[in-house]
Structure 1
Amino acid sequence: MDLRTLRYFIAVLEAGSLSRAAGSLYVAQPALTAQIKKLEAELGTQLFDRSHAGVTPTPAGMQLYEDARRLLSDAEAVRERIQRLPQGPEGSVTVAAPFLLASLLLGPVLARLKHSHPRIRVFVLDDLSLMVRKAMLDRRADVGILVDTPQLDNLRCTPLAREAIFVCGHDADGTVAPLLRPAPRGRAAGGHPEIDFAQAAQLPLVLQSRRFSIRQNVEEAASALGVALNVVHEHDSARVIRSLYQCGAGFTFTPACSLADSPHQDQQGWIVARVVRPLLPRAYTLATAADRVIDAPTQVVIDALVQETTRLVRSGAWQAELPV
């Protein structure tokens, strides 16, 4: 298994077709096919499912794709080290983050690091909060942002931020607006009105399944109050949920970090209200392996995550609270 073969493999996976990959690589398709078959034989597993429409990666293929990208990145770093003297920390760092928070936080962090520490390569695993925790426990990530996990065996955990859960949706007939109370004072409230959880639970709801942490929190609050959730649509896809509530099919519970992806609150009939009685807090924790010394590149990434979190909260771009 050499670097050229790994580059061929990545090109085929990303193109979704051996013929398209061969064209982009300027390699004859039979030669490329032979390289992929040789790689599969060497690893003892099938990397692609083949059909008339092209190729799709198997689970083994997806795992190799993640590892191969990191290997090639490290190889490039080796080449750069030989060609020029080091200028600051360098290396590869993998960050695992829940996907809703990743869209708000990781873009600015990666842009900052590209400018300040170009020799540090950051890989992001964005997934369900449960899978982020698993990535840390399986040591597939160097830094993790965990949800509602203040401590966990074998991990070193530090509080990052705490936010509230909101209800969003289109109040087409104007029946929800009278249920809202005026926004309280304070930066964390963000100028949004409030709605009691018991009333929010009776709205027509579009929610993800119970595999998701937000749904679990909502279910626990409903059980504690003895109320039933009025779920009219249930889908695992966050994009489907977003499309449903944006088209007026119902309301959804969403954390403060994702409010920027919602329609503007000034849009006529659009409701964005903080859920209270009870509050549904959502806490984020930075985690690293307890038995590993934090190296210089990882520390740089951790510092960037903390600094960007602080900036977003203090500027009001993220309606959250920083740890005391």
Structure 2
Amino acid sequence: MELRQLRYFVAIVDHGSLSRAARVLHIVQPALTQQLQQLEEELGATLLHRSAQGMQATDAGKIFYEHALAILKQVSDAKSAVSQSTDKPSGTVALGIPQSASGALAFPLLTAVRAAYPEIVFQLTEELTGNLTEQLASGRLNLAILFDDGQLGKFATKPLVEEEMMFITRADSQFACKKKSISLAKALQVPLILPSIQHGVRPRIEQVVRDQGLKIEHVIDITSIAILKSAILADMGATILPVSPLLAEIERGEMRACPINDVKLSRTVSLCASKNIPLTNAAMAVEKLVLELSRDLVGSGKWLGAELLNSSS
């Protein structure tokens, strides 16, 4: 198996056509077909099949595609690590961030990397926590922002902040707090709109509820943060979340955040990297920038409900 065969296979999947992939790769289509056949023979599996939509990956092809992307990225990172300067880091850095943390970090981080390291090609990916964990483990991501649920032992982690979770409603909601704070039991009496179980925040909420001997009786599961916002603004219920994903709506006065007064409900936000795949100079530069930016955002009050943890100071 050769690296060029991996590149060829990825190009075919990405472009959905042998002819388009051949043009992009600057090779003739028969040669591309031959390389694909050799790859399938070596693997003993059919990787692609023709359909009305073009060339599509089989189930085996989808699995191999993920591995091929990871391998090609690690080869690219290895080349960058050898050639790049520590004074002027360059190359590609892929960082993943969960939907429920992007409101606080995504745009400030994108702006900071572009300003500090113009030579770095910065790829910022917003995904479900479960997807980020898989991509970081496989090497498709250099870094990821993850929530410490006790399952991060396979990664090198640097805690950033502890985020308080609050009871959040539409500002004039029928479910809004009558006082300045609310008990967890009373919050659970309201129809709750919560991220689905794939989000790192949901298992944490459910664990605290169980520890208090309580149950979530009425819940609307929504995977998309955008749809969750719309449901809250339609007054279908309330949510229990950190402030960061709903910060814009709270600052505009469209939503109201109310502290939970009888139990500590929070999540630890950590910056994670693989223990097995070394970081390039560019990735280490971005890692340092994330730590500095977290400190600045908390210190300036722009990351509401967040408390800085020692290792990021």
CA distance, structure 2, for counterparts of residue 242 and residue 73 of structure 1: 38
Residue 93 of structure 1: how far off its partner (Å): 4.9
Q: Is the 8 A contact 1:150 1:157 kept in 2?
A: no
CA distance, structure 2, for counterparts of residue 30 and residue 144 of structure 1: 40
Deviations 1:265-288 (A, max 9, x none): 423xx4433333223111123345
Counterpart pick for 1:245 among 232, 240, 260: 232
Residue 305 of structure 1: how far off its partner (Å): 0.6
Q: SS of 2:216's equivalent? A: coil
Residue 46 of structure 1: how far off its partner (Å): 4.1
Counterpart pick for 1:219 among 188, 203, 206: 206
CA distance, structure 1, for counterparts of residue 281 and residue 24 of structure 2: 37
CA distance, structure 2, for counterparts of residue 154 and residue 289 of structure 1: 7
Deviations 1:196-240 (A, max 9, x none): 322221111222344443222222332333333233422445455
CA distance, structure 1, for counterparts of residue 279 and residue 237 of structure 2: 45
**TM-score of the aligned structures, taking structure 1 as reference length:** 0.71
- Counterpart amino acid of 1:14? D
Does the alignment pair 1:284 with 2:269? yes
Q: Is the 8 A contact 1:151 1:157 kept in 2?
A: no
CA distance, structure 2, for counterparts of residue 157 and residue 26 of structure 1: 42
Q: Is the 8 A contact 2:70 2:139 kept in 1?
A: no
Consecutive unaligned residues of structure 2, counting only runs of 5 or more, are none
Does the alignment pair 1:323 with 2:290? no
Q: Give 2:253's aligned residue.
A: 266
Residues 125-144 of structure 1 aligned to structure 2 (within 5 Å): 127-129=127-129, 132=132, 142-144=142-144
Counterpart pick for 2:184 among 172, 197, 206: 197
Bigger mean CA deviation after superposition, 270-279 or 19-28: 19-28
Cα separation, partners in 2 of 1:12 and 1:262, compared to 1, 3 Å:
farther
Q: CA RMSD in A?
A: 4.1
Cα separation, partners in 2 of 1:55 and 1:205, compared to 1, 3 Å:
farther
- Counterpart amino acid of 1:305? V
Does the alignment pair 1:176 with 2:175? yes
Q: Give 1:228's aligned residue.
A: 215
CA distance, structure 1, for counterparts of residue 5 and residue 249 of structure 2: 43
Percentage identity across paired residues of the two chains: 27
Q: Is the 8 A contact 1:93 1:298 kept in 2?
A: yes
Deviations 1:50-85 (A, max 9, x none): 43223444122133134334545666x49x95xx98
Q: Give 1:311's aligned residue.
A: 296
- Counterpart amino acid of 2:68? L
Bigger mean CA deviation after superposition, 309-318 or 289-298: 289-298
Cα separation, partners in 2 of 1:131 and 1:7, compared to 1, 3 Å:
closer
Deviations 1:128-172 (A, max 9, x none): 445655666667655443423589656554331111113334367
Q: Is the 8 A contact 1:196 1:276 kept in 2?
A: yes
- Counterpart amino acid of 1:315? S
- Counterpart amino acid of 1:245? I
Aligned length: 305
CA distance, structure 2, for counterparts of residue 40 and residue 241 of structure 1: 43
Residue 313 of structure 1: how far off its partner (Å): 2.0
- Counterpart amino acid of 1:300? A
- Counterpart amino acid of 2:14? E
Q: Give 2:147's aligned residue.
A: 147
**TM-score of the aligned structures, taking structure 2 as reference length:** 0.73
Consecutive unaligned residues of structure 1, counting only runs of 5 or more, are 182-193
Residue 318 of structure 1: how far off its partner (Å): 1.4
- Counterpart amino acid of 1:15? H
Q: Give 1:185's aligned residue.
A: none
